[in-house]
């Protein structure tokens, strides 16, 4: 029975085969092959296109999911950058090694600078200090304060110094202690800048403190004059620097060395353990250094990419945009964390006791910063002060999960380079002062941080000027004169 059924099935198949022409079987084979190719090669692209479009265009989809599909691509940024290059096609193309400075230097007479105190207050939000005083500690501090005051009035300054520093350590946020410490700094140590800063802190805590009001009214004009002289001397050095011929061999060596120095110090500030020699080695040879983590290698490669982008692209354009900041960060963090690189954070972060901007307000505050940086009134601020303010504001917003400090220092150098200054290096040896002045800015006084950046700018200028005065005889036809003037005498004049 089974054999009979099997033979009938075979007969049926043979009948079907005989009924169909051979050409039809050929068509079926071709269709099967084409269908297989379509499923394997074309379908994935169609699926990716549809999925990407549905996710990117859907406002209900979470931003973290959109990141995976790269909804915010780089095509628009590249098109914008191409347009900007067309606008600046008359400028000479430069590179960081050969010429890391703007082609058209910033010019402005010192009389045209705006009074920036009001502008500074409007852009930088203040977070009030809310210390929780310990009544026993505060009582001890007040008792020490009275003893210090009596010792100072009797002329026993050494004893007064020890006691007032003890009181300050016990109650650093007490207006009376801050005021008395300021009086000591002003009258005994003759440090008007430090004294005025202490009076200001006291007034931030108690705006009606009579002694602090009287003392600050006296010291503030002196401090403002000191700061104005500081910026004036920096501008003089900048003019000397801009007169140095770009073919000067000493300047070329200094520029090349500053590139490695910049990368080494800026990643070292964040805890990278590479030495300067190892940093130089990985950048020149692209070979890994034994005993160092992959993350540390990638931090250096990211800074290298960001510096080249800054020099070859941003240094030529005018107004900075939020896309430019994202592009800088994308290169800074691109080798370490490609998913987070170039994207604003969507979670809350904490930096010690400092709480940055909430994630839902990050883009808004970043847009406000960009608008402020491009405002006509803002552009009247001294470029060194403006660069410091931009650096602090970006760190204050803390728009990224990681790489905020490195991005802020690159933004600072972008502003300085457009104004005719060389890139500024913050040495890792100055890390303590760097973070102390940032904390002071968080507490409401930005001037210590501005003075710190001004000092670093002055050091960078002096380093380039000094390097340019040491050049080959063939590059110094006028025996040490730079740009037709005696560089040595001018450097001495500006010190």
Q: Terminus-to-terminus CA distance in the chain, angstroms?
A: 115
Q: Is position 265 annotated as part of the catalytic site?
A: no
Residues 6+ apart with CB under 8 A from 306: 328, 331, 332, 406, 407, 410
DSSP H or E run through 297: helix 294-312
Annotated binding residues for ATP, as ranges?
A: 402-409, 434-435, 442
CB atoms within 10 A of CB 420: 18
Residues 6+ apart with CB under 8 A from 254: 463, 464, 467, 468
Q: Please state, in angstroms and rounded to a whole number, the distance separating the CA atoms of residues 362 and 397.
A: 7
Q: Cα–chain-centroid distance for residue 224?
A: 27
Residue corresponding to tokens 């992959």 = 294
- Catalytic residue among 265, 297, 316, 398, which? 398
Q: Please state, in angstroms and rounded to a whole number, the distance separating the CA atoms of residues 146 and 174.
A: 14
Contact predicate 197/447, CB 8 Å:
yes
DSSP H or E run through 485: strand 485-486
Q: Please state, in angstroms and rounded to a whole number, the distance separating the CA atoms of residues 413 and 264.
A: 16
Q: Cα–chain-centroid distance for residue 443?
A: 20
Residue corresponding to tokens 């964390």 = 337
What helix, strand, coil percent values describe the chain, rounded to 5? Answer: 65, 0, 30
Q: Please state, in angstroms and rounded to a whole number, the distance separating the CA atoms of residues 43 and 37.
A: 9
The residues carrying an active-site annotation are 398
């Amino acid at each position: 029975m089974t054999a009979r059924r099997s033979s009938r099935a075979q007969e049926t198949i043979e009948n079907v085969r005989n009924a169909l022409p051979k050409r039809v079987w050929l068509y079926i084979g071709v269709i099967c092959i084409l269908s297989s190719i379509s499923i394997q090669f074309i379908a994935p692209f169609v699926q990716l296109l549809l999925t990407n479009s549905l996710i990117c265009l859907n406002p209900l989809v979470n931003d973290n999911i959109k990141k995976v599909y790269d909804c915010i691509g780089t095509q628009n940024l590249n098109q914008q950058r191409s347009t900007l290059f067309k606008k600046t096609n008359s400028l000479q193309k430069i590179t960081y090694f050969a010429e890391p400075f703007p082609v058209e230097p910033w010019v402005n007479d010192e009389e045209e600078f705006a009074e920036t105190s009001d502008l500074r207050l409007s852009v930088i939000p203040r977070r009030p200090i809310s210390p929780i005083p310990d009544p026993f500690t505060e009582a001890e501090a007040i008792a020490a304060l009275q003893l210090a005051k009596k010792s100072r009035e009797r002329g026993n300054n050494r004893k007064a110094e020890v006691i007032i520093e003890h009181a300050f350590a016990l109650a650093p946020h007490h207006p009376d202690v801050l005021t008395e410490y300021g009086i000591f700094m002003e009258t005994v140590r003759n440090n008007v800048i430090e004294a005025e800063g202490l009076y200001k802190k006291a007034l931030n805590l108690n705006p009606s403190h009579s002694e602090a009001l009287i003392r600050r009214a006296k010291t503030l004009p002196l401090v403002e004059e000191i700061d104005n002289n500081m910026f004036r001397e920096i501008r003089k050095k900048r003019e000397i620097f801009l007169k140095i011929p770009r073919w000067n061999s000493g300047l070329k060596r200094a520029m090349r060395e500053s590139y490695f120095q910049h990368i080494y110090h800026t990643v070292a500030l964040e805890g990278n353990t590479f030495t300067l020699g190892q940093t130089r080695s990985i950048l020149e040879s692209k070979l890994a250094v034994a005993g160092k983590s992959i993350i540390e290698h990638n931090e250096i490669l990211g800074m290298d990419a960001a510096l080249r982008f800054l020099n070859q692209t941003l240094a030529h354009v005018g107004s900075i945009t939020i896309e430019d900041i994202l592009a800088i960060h994308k290169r800074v963090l691109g080798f370490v964390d490609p998913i987070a690189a170039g994207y604003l954070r969507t979670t809350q972060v904490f930096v010690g006791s400092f709480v940055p901007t909430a994630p839902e307000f990050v883009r808004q505050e970043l847009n406000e910063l960009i608008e402020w940086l491009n405002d006509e009134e803002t552009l009247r601020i001294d470029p060194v002060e403006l660069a410091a303010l931009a650096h602090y504001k970006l760190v204050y917003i803390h728009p990224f999960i990681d790489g905020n400090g490195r991005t802020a220092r690159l933004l600072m150098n972008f502003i300085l380079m457009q104004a005719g200054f060389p890139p500024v290096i913050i040495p890792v040896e100055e890390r303590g002062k760097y973070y102390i002045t940032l904390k002071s800015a968080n507490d409401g006084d930005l001037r210590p941080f501005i003075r710190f950046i001004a000092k670093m700018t002055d050091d960078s200028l002096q380093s380039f000027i000094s390097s340019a005065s040491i050049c080959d005889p063939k590059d110094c036809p006028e025996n040490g004169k730079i740009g037709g003037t005696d560089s040595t005498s001018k450097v001495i004049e500006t010190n």
